[in-house]
């Protein structure tokens, strides 16, 4: 299948590479030339703008870092909306249902179908093709692109309501964001009282407290203090804020989500937007006066 792919970052690059490896023909665009060069070396053709790509292919996928970027690439000047050939716009980014509906409505005026397809499973999942892919859009359009999306992982059809895939993704990421902070608090509590955090994580993973935070994030990036999981605090804060907005737009006031949102605001303030989200443990450690993990055995601060 001829596919345009825009946004070749931490997620977009491995997803685009998997499409090439599966035999699809890719035309790619990113504002960073180096990202396009890496894909061109694997056989993709570099485009010059979202419109240029959308003049050439019927199916355009995007993986972009902000709501504004998705809106501009889809509907701005020189955007997908101006393309002569494009029929469908598949957004793999997390943008929330309100923005997805806005883009859906604007593209519909140009007879372009918007398909929501946010993903979960991180950079490792994008590389291995083990993402959860949450698709909403017209059923026939879903069927037309299902095989291409299956290259990314397990594909779920959420429904035909515009934005439904985004609502699903926000529910998932709210849980992931919550488990990360809750696991940080649990392990800092144990460390403060003298438990070994590595043993704690082993026990949690054999017990009922297990989550992807304890199973994947702590062993890989928190206990060794490499803080290199590949998802920025800015993106996590974006997702949590979108989840809280989604709840409020439905007239819901949800206490855990509000508290989790406030804590992630502390993390971004103290660690910075570009920090890895696994650094969420640092403000919690600081408040407790302990450091978890590291090369040596963890220790309680004197
Ligand atoms: P990223 O910042 O690594 O990549 C974004 C890419 O888009 C960059 O290469 C950037 O140069 C490019 N870009 C930005 N504006 C552009 C524009 N106007 N035109 C063309 N290219 C542009 O971000 P990421 O981590 O790959 O995340 C992408 C999306 O996937 C986000 O919505 C994020 O929430 C979601 N997501 C990320 C992860 C993860 O683990 N990183 C997991 C699931 C979902």
Q: Is the pLDDT of residue 191 over 80?
A: yes
Of 132, 165, 137, nearest to 149 by C-alpha is: 132
Give the angle 15-91-176 at the CA atoms, nearest 5°: 75
Atom of ligand 1 nearest to the CA of 94: 32
pLDDT at 39: 96
Known active-site residue 169:
yes
pLDDT (tens digit, 9 = 90+) per residue, 227-282?
Answer: 999 899 999 999 999 999 999 999 999 999 999 999 999 999 999 999 999 999 99
pLDDT at 284 over 50: yes
Q: What is the dihedral of CA 5, 80, 235, 96, to 10 degrees?
A: -120
The dihedral over CA atoms of 23, 151, 49, 242, expressed in degrees to the nearest 10, equals 180
Q: Is the pLDDT of residue 20 over 80?
A: yes
Mean pLDDT, rounded, for 94-110 = 97
pLDDT score for 293: 86
For residue 166, pLDDT beyond 90: yes
- In tens, the pLDDT along 22-54 reads 999 999 999 999 999 999 999 999 999 999 999
> What pLDDT is stored for residue 294 in this prediction?
79
Return the residue whose CA atom lies nearest to atom 29 of ligand 1.
Answer: 93
Question: pLDDT at position 295, please?
Answer: 60
Q: Could you tell me how many helices (H) and strands (E) the chain has, helices first?
A: 13, 11
According to DSSP, the β-strands at 88-91 and 299-300 are unpaired
Output the pTM of the full model.
Answer: 0.92
How does DSSP classify residue 93? Answer: S
Residue 7 Cα to ligand 1 midpoint, Å, equals 6
CB of 68 sitting under 6 A from ligand 1:
no
pLDDT digits over 207-232, tens only?
999 999 999 999 999 999 999 998 99
- Measured between alpha carbons, how far is 41 from 37 in angstroms, rounded to an integer? 6
- Quickly state the pLDDT bin for 203 (edges 50, 70, 90): very high
| Ligand 1 nearest-atom number relative to CA 12 | 26
- Catalytic one among 169, 217, 238, 282? 169
Mean pLDDT of the chain: 96
Percent of the chain with pLDDT over 90: 96
Q: All domains of the chain, ordered by start, with CATH?
A: 2-160 (3.40.50.720), 167-288 (1.10.1040.10)
3-state DSSP of 152-214: CEEEEEEECCCCHHHHHHHHHHHHHHHHHHHHHHHHHHHHHCCCCHHHHHHHHHHCCCCCHHH
Per DSSP, helices labelled H in 27-154 are 33-40, 50-56, 67-75, 96-108, 122-128, 139-149
pLDDT category at 298 given cuts 50, 70, 90 is very low
Q: Are strands 113-116 and 45-46 parallel, antiparallel or unpaired?
A: unpaired
């Amino acid at each position: 299948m001829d596919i345009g792919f825009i946004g070749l970052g931490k997620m977009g690059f491995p997803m685009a590479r998997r499409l090439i490896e599966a035999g699809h023909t890719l035309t790619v665009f990113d504002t960073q030339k180096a990202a396009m060069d890496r894909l061109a070396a694997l056989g993709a053709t570099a485009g010059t703008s979202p419109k240029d790509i959308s003049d050439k292919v019927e199916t355009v996928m995007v993986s972009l870092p902000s709501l504004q970027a998705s809106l501009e690439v889809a509907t701005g000047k020189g955007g997908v909306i101006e393309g002569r050939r494009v029929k469908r716009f598949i957004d793999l980014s997390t943008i929330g249902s309100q923005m997805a509906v806005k883009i859906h409505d604007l593209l519909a005026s140009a007879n372009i179908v918007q398909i929501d397809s946010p993903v979960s499973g991180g950079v490792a999942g994008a590389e291995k093709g083990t993402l959860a892919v949450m698709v909403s859009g017209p059923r026939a359009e879903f069927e037309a692109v299902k095989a291409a999306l299956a290259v990314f992982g397990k594909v779920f059809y959420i429904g035909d309501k515009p934005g439904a895939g985004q609502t699903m993704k926000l529910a998932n990421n709210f849980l992931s964001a919550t488990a990360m902070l809750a696991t940080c608090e649990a392990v800092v509590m144990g460390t403060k009282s003298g438990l070994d955090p590595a043993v704690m994580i082993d026990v949690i993973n054999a017990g009922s407290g297990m989550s992807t935070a304890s199973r994947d994030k702590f062993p890989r990036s928190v206990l060794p203090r490499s803080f290199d999981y590949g998802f920025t605090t800015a993106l996590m804060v974006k997702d949590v804020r979108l989840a809280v907005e989604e709840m409020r737009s439905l007239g819901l006031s949800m206490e855990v989500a509000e508290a989790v949102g406030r804590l992630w605001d502390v993390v971004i303030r103290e660690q910075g937007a570009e920090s890895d989200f696994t650094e969420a443990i640092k403000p919690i450690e600081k408040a407790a006066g302990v450091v978890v993990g590291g090369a040596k055995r963890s220790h309680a601060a004197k």
